[in-house]
Structures are given as structure tokens and as C-alpha cells.
Structure 1
């Protein structure tokens, strides 16, 4: 029977109604995290229609001076399958469902945190005089959510959990990022650490935890035409390509000890959940993706696989950092710092 035909829901006992609403909330326990999609555009780029409601300017310094990028969340239903849309209707269905959402995501706690932070920053004159301070006052005021959106004429909150969810960057937007000057045409000009600390979903100035999990969609074309010299990580990082972007993100993690973890979605890989295991599981509106355990040696040598890409990337990176960047590697207090496999993982479709 279609759910729209159930007219007696309001007549159910309140305890049963609350239980049903609670079951409708997206999974937030058991090691599961949502996948939240976003794009980063060069400021002059025209974003998708509808994304203006959810965007943030990202200041970034380069040789041309201060310029801005824009992090945006598209509201186009066909392309945006983010997990925060899972329970959007619970904000607008009725008073009970909204209260269940408020309780599940501890909104009272975060609203109180926001109030205390507002009081604190009001006393910091230098901060409120800056562009960043003005932006924080007017945009993305709720620490764990983006602004209220309109759905059928009613407001609902876009709720994410920065330290538990994973944030999937649309690689198609990367081509708009680089300025077309001769002097500043490289990934390093993006200052990736600053960008990922100031996404639309979170800000340390609003009391949020930093984003930890970043998802990219792997493509088998990344395994073609590797640099001829096995120690030439720099050549790879200079590529204006998605895998060049990955190499630069790895550089940010290793050299600046940034606390990010990169996940590559390999759509050619299916992964079951191991009983009693501690695999990471992320989901969007359509699918679940499970941390793969590439136990079989042949998977690391399949040239169409994300595991093969990670193995090649690790070879280049180890040679680059342990021999060139850090000649005293054996004396390093953290020998695993340069092992890229510890910082990048694979997600496959959930199988049976």
C-alpha cells in the first residue's frame, strides 16, 4: 500500500509514532557515515542553477594576490544524491518528526554552542573586522548544518557530521579551479588545507570538528601513462588532472601532517561486510559503499583497479619523501608518516 494511503498515522499511539520517526532518520551509528557531495569552483565560474543557496567563498592567496574560490552544494536532484537529503522531509512533516531530528542530531546543544561562540567573537574586534568574520556572521550560522533550505514552502536543515561523514568532491569541477596565468597554473596554488577547513559544511570558527574523510571517484584511466621514472612523484603532482590533484592532496597530508583520509570509490569492486570486522561504511541516497579489504595479491596488480593506482602512487611517494624530501628518514620519529597506504583507502559497492 502506498505510504500516501495511510491516513490513520496520527491516530497511532504517540510512542509508536515516535518509534517510526526515529527509524526514518538516516543511520548515524554503527560506524556508518553519509556521503555529502560538493564542488569547488573558481569564483568567476557560473555554478549549477540552485547551488547559489548553498555556497561559500574561499579566500586563497597566490602569486596574483588574494582571489576567491567557491565551495558549493548543488540542489539539482538528478546529480545531488547526498545523504543529508535522506531525512529532509522529517524537518517539514510535522512537529513530532522535527523534534526527533532535533534530538537525533543534538541541535539544542549545537545551538547553545553557537550562542556562546557568537558572544565570544563579538568581543574580538580584529576578527569581526575581517572578511572572514563578516562571512561567519552572515553565512552558515549553525555549527553542524548549512542554512535552512526551502522544501515545499517550509524550512529544513541540511545536517552533516563533519568528523563522521565523508565529503565527495565533484572532480568535474576541478577544471575551473586553476587561474590561467603563466606563473600560477598548478595545483599547489589552491592551498588545499585552507580550502578543506572552510567548506560549506563546517568551520572551526563555528565550533565544528574538521572534515576528516574526503571521497574521490576513481577512474581506471588514472593507471595509464605513469611517469617513466619510478621516483618522479613531482611530475605526477604537476599534472593538471584528477590524479595530479590526488597527488597534491597526498602532499598536503604528508608534509603538513593534515588529518585527512582519502577514499577512492572503485565502482568495479564489490565488497561484503566481514562479520565482526571494523570496516568503514558510507552511503548516499542510492547505494552503500564498504571499505575494501584487498587481501588477494592479484587485486593490487589489476591495472584497472584503484588498488593498483594506490600501489603505484605509494611507490612514487616513498621514493620521493624517504630519499629526496627527507634524507634522514631512518631517524624520523614517525616512520609511517610517508606510507601513503596509511592515508588512502578504497570503497567498493556493498555486496552480499
Structure 2
């Protein structure tokens, strides 16, 4: 069930094919079968413990009939459900279920990429990486199926349950999204326990305001079996309009039918640690950023347009020459002022520690190592939190115009 081993971990700047790459090799069918299969496998999306997928999706609410006396339309009574015991479920009035649907599978012609950049990036989902392999020919389908070890996964699924060993639903199993209605000939493959799912803006307004209503139904590939994931990674794409006309009252923010309003409502789920809920991410495609000296990025998320890494909110920059923070950090500062429960004496609630930030690897600025000079506006705890690079070292990157200076000044 493991992908083919790789000799070295991926580098942030490592080249990967993108949607812009156009290659033609008319003599490919004349190559030996063994060589063709090797080429097909090399074309597969890297799937390792350090390389995860980033997918763009719409969310479909699962309709249940609460008055159904036979429970035929109730998710937890479905005979194909495995690995989920509702007797251990914490009851909530908001409990509901969702499924994920892929966006339409299309590609902007290379000569139109710059003129139609928004369309080009609208669906660069990682699940498209292997779409050509699934639809090209029998040989390519054999290659991708072998690469994913689908026969091994299905064998594991069919084995009797051994309580001493992890079952399929306890592993990073391959799942499928609902294909777009115009793309019914293939099944987009994802790894729900590892990948990040970015919700497209057009579907945001129809989403529930409670994360407890976002329990994800994840089918096991090539079967009717499915399980329920309460913890999965949800992302929203940042837009600079989020900083415009920012409300001064948190209840006004809750009432907004906007991505930031929805995010504010979702954050409330983290005040109660009883319920397992999805993790929340904000993706910024354009912000430039800096890394702390010696910082290592263990996980890289990929779509068809490039790689992404998680950074701290203090690591963004407004441009390539300024030390001021990027617009996405300005948003999180204003957002946190309204939502943070700093009056709690024991466990203060800090939004920026709940919502994670994902940025493009290609937007990293060159490292400039300088002596740490802590900002007078930051507390000792703030400095330790923001400046640490994970190895015990500190950097002055996050001390420049410290994140907390704004919050403290407004408190």
C-alpha cells in the first residue's frame, strides 16, 4: 500500500510538470512495452508521506430524511458504512454530512494561459494530474493502478477484520470524488487523510455555518464501502477584498454571507474541544514570504500548477523589498481581534493558531540572516511563538512589524 520509494525528499524548488507544459513524442508507441510502462509510472502524481495533494472542489450536502421510520435514508444506517460507530458519536443538533465533487476537467490552451490566468488556476487540482493516465489507454490505466497498488488496497478491504491490525479506514486509503456531470468517464482520486480540499468561492454561500455539519463521506475506491471522516482539511482561497469594510462587531461578521463570515462561524467549533472537526486553511497564491534560517518544510502540497508549504502568519511580506506583512496577515490580525478569547485566564483562544496558512513555494524571498532584535511591541511569549523555526533557533523575520503589536495596541 506504499508508493514506490524515492531516493531523496522533494526540494521546494524542484521542477515538476505543470499545466503549461506541452510535450509531444510521436514515436512513443514504438518504444518497448517495459519502457512505456516506466514512462507512464513516472508521469504519476508523487504520492508519499511528504508530498500531498491540493484539490479544488464543490461541497454537496447529504440529504437525510429524519422522519424515515425504516432509517433507509440515514447515513449511519447505511449497510456499506464501515469504521464508524455512532454509539461513540458526541451528539450535536448540527450533525450533518457532506460529499465532495470535482470541478470540470478542462485545460486552458498554453497560448491563453496569461490572458486567462483566472481560468487557468480555477482547476489545477492534483486529481487532474492522473486524469490523462486513466483516460489515455489500457496501458496507462494499468500503470496508474499498479502505482497506486489498487489491487493491494482491495485485497486489504476484503480481508476479515483483525482488531489487532489497522483496517483500511484507519490508513491513508485512496478515495474518489464525485466527478463533474460532464466528466463521468473517470473518478478523481484523492487521499482524504492527507490532502487539502479547497472550496471554490461559488459554493461557499450554500455551506453550513457549523463544522459539525461537515462530516465527510469518503468512499473506498472501486467498492460501495465508505467511512466517515470528521477530521479533514478544508481550505479557502484568500482574496484581498476580505480586508475591505471589515466589520467592527463580531456578530456582524457572523451574519455575512461571505467567505470570511463563513470562516468566522466555523471558528466557533474550536471553542469546544469535545467535538472533532476539520482543520482550516487559507491559501494565498500571490503573497511573498520568508523562511526562518534552517527551517525545513517536511510536507509539500501540490496541485498541477506548483507546490505549496505551510508558513507562519508572521512570515508574509507585502512586497519583495518591504518588511511589512502581507495583506493575508493583515486580514488574520483583524480577524483575530474580533474572534480571539483573550480574557480566558487558562487557555486563551487564538485564531491564528487555529487557521493555517498555505503559500506558493515559488514566492519565497531570498533568505537574509540578521541579528535578532526583538520588537518592543511584542511580549516574550509572542517572540518565542513567532520567531522559532522549529529547531530552537530564532529569526528576526517575524520580529519586523510583529503580528501581536497591532492586537495589543487595539486591546
TM-score normalised per structure 1: 0.64
- Matching of residue 306 in structure 1 with residue 328 in structure 2: yes
Preserved contact between residue 197 and residue 235 of structure 2 (Cα < 8 Å): yes
From 236, 248, 270, give the equivalent of 1:216: 236
- Aligned position for 1:250: 267
Q: What pairs up with 1:158-173 in 2 under 5 angstroms?
A: 158-173=188-203
CA deviations over 1:34-60 (Å, ceiling 9, x no partner): 11111236799xxxxxxxxxxxx999x
Q: Equivalent residue of 2:214, what SS?
A: helix
Higher-strand-fraction structure: 1
Corresponding residue number in structure 1 for 2:403? none
The gaps in structure 1 that reach 5 residues or longer are 45-56, 119-141, 178-186
Aligned to 1:264: 282
Structure 1 partner of 2:408 = none
Which among 361, 370, 373 is matched to residue 350 of structure 1?
361
| Counterpart in the other structure of 1:101 | 144
Separation in 2, partners of 1:200, 1:287: 27
2:216 counterpart (197, 219, 233): 197
Q: Which residue of 1 aligns with 2:129?
A: 86
Aligned counterpart, 1:22:
41
- 1:175 paired to 2:205: yes
Q: Is the Cα contact below 8 Å between 1:114 and 1:207 reproduced in 2?
A: no
Q: Match of 1:144?
A: 175
Paired residue for 1:49? Answer: none
Between structures 1 and 2, the one with greater helix share:
1
Distance 2:298 2:252 in 1: 34
Residues 211/110 of structure 1: CA separation in 2 closer, same or farther (3 Å cut): farther
Gapped runs of 5+ residues in structure 2? 1-21, 64-72, 76-91, 107-118, 162-172, 365-411
Contact 1:39–1:169 (8 Å) recurs in 2? yes
Q: Which residue in 1 is equivalent to 2:399?
A: none
Q: Does 1:340 align with 2:357?
A: no
How many residues are paired up? 285
**Structure 1 175/318 Cα, relative in aligned 2: closer, same or farther at 3 Å?**
closer
Change (3 A) 1:241 1:31: same
C-alpha contact 1:287 1:349 (8 A) present in aligned 2: yes
Equivalent of residue 235 in structure 1, options 247, 252, 275: 252
Cα distance in 2 for partners of 1:194, 1:105 equals 31
Contact 1:290–1:348 (8 Å) recurs in 2: yes
The change in CA–CA distance for 1:236 and 1:23 in structure 2 (over 3 A counts) is same
| Partner Cα distance (2:181, 2:61) in 1 | 26
Identify the range of structure 1 (94-103 vs 164-173) with the bigger mean alpha-carbon deviation: 94-103
Shift of 1:68: 9.4
Task: Find the aligned partners of 1:68 and 1:27 in 2 and give their Cα distance.
Answer: 30
Q: Deviations over 1:120-172 (max 9, x none)?
A: xxxxxxxxxxxxxxxxxxxxxx961246899999x544210001111010122
Deviations 1:157-208 (A, max 9, x none): 421000111101012222345xxxxxxxxx54xx433324236899xx7247
Matches within 5 A, 1:35-184: 35-40=54-59, 71-77=100-106, 79-115=122-158, 144-146=175-177, 155-177=185-207
- Whole-angstrom distance in 1 between the partners of 2:219 and 2:303: 18
TM-score w.r.t. length of structure 2: 0.56
